[in-house]
């Protein structure tokens, strides 16, 4: 399978898993689980425009730290926006090509595609935004992983990142 085909073959797979919902914390630090009715009320309180604004923030080019922080909160049961956090990593290609760790970049890319699609807002502009953020995330990983790389390692990592980016730009679908 070509890198381009493999890079996107699993992007459209959606997970039906729903995270546990948690309510406000008690003074003792424990959390209160909310009922499905309460969760539906909370979700209804957030408009589509508010959710889209938050999605734009989480998928912007330099938004990886915000996305990571928000993902940790989701894992702890806090996601008022009810985003789809499912991912298959780098979609049937290595999450670690040549030892370069691209899993988080791929997970954030999946997050952008899946949530814009679920909101019926996956335009060419949003696709480009998510794809460009994907490249930026991988390039940042190339620059920071394991301290200083040799120049050869850095160039190799950036070259692989560009190939992954080219694959999603070419094969990523708007449907």
Contacts of 96 (CB under 8 A, 6+ apart): 102, 103
Read off φ and ψ for residue 122, nearest 5 degrees.
Answer: -85, 80
Integer Cα distance of 53 and 74 in angstroms? 18
* CA distances to 15, 45, 85, 98, 165 from 12, in Å: 10, 28, 13, 25, 17
Burial of residue 31 (number of CB atoms within 10 Å: 0-12, 13-18, 19+)? middle
Catalytic pick from 78, 109, 120, 126?
109
CA angle 94, 157, 160 (to 5 degrees): 55
* CA distances to 44, 70, 86, 136, 158 from 108, in Å: 25, 11, 10, 11, 18
Is 173 marked active-site?
no
The catalytic residue positions are 109
């Amino acid at each position: 399978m070509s890198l381009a085909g493999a890079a996107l073959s699993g992007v459209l797979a959606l997970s039906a898993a729903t995270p546990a919902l948690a309510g406000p914390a008690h003074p003792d630090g424990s959390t209160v689980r909310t009922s499905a009715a309460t969760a539906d009320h909370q979700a209804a309180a957030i408009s589509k425009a508010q959710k889209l604004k938050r999605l734009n923030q989480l998928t912007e080019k330099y938004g990886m730290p915000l996305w990571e922080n928000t993902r940790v909160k989701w894992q702890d049961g806090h996601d008022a926006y009810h985003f789809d956090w499912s991912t298959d990593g780098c979609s049937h290609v290595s999450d670690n090509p040549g030892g370069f760790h691209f899993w988080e970049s791929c997970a954030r890319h999946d997050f952008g595609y899946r949530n814009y699609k679920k909101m019926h807002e996956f335009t060419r502009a949003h696709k480009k935004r998510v794809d460009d953020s994907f490249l930026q995330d991988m390039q940042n990983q190339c620059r920071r992983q394991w301290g200083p790389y040799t120049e050869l390692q850095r160039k190799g990592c950036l070259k692989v990142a560009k190939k992954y980016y080219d694959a999603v730009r070419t094969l990523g679908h708007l449907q």
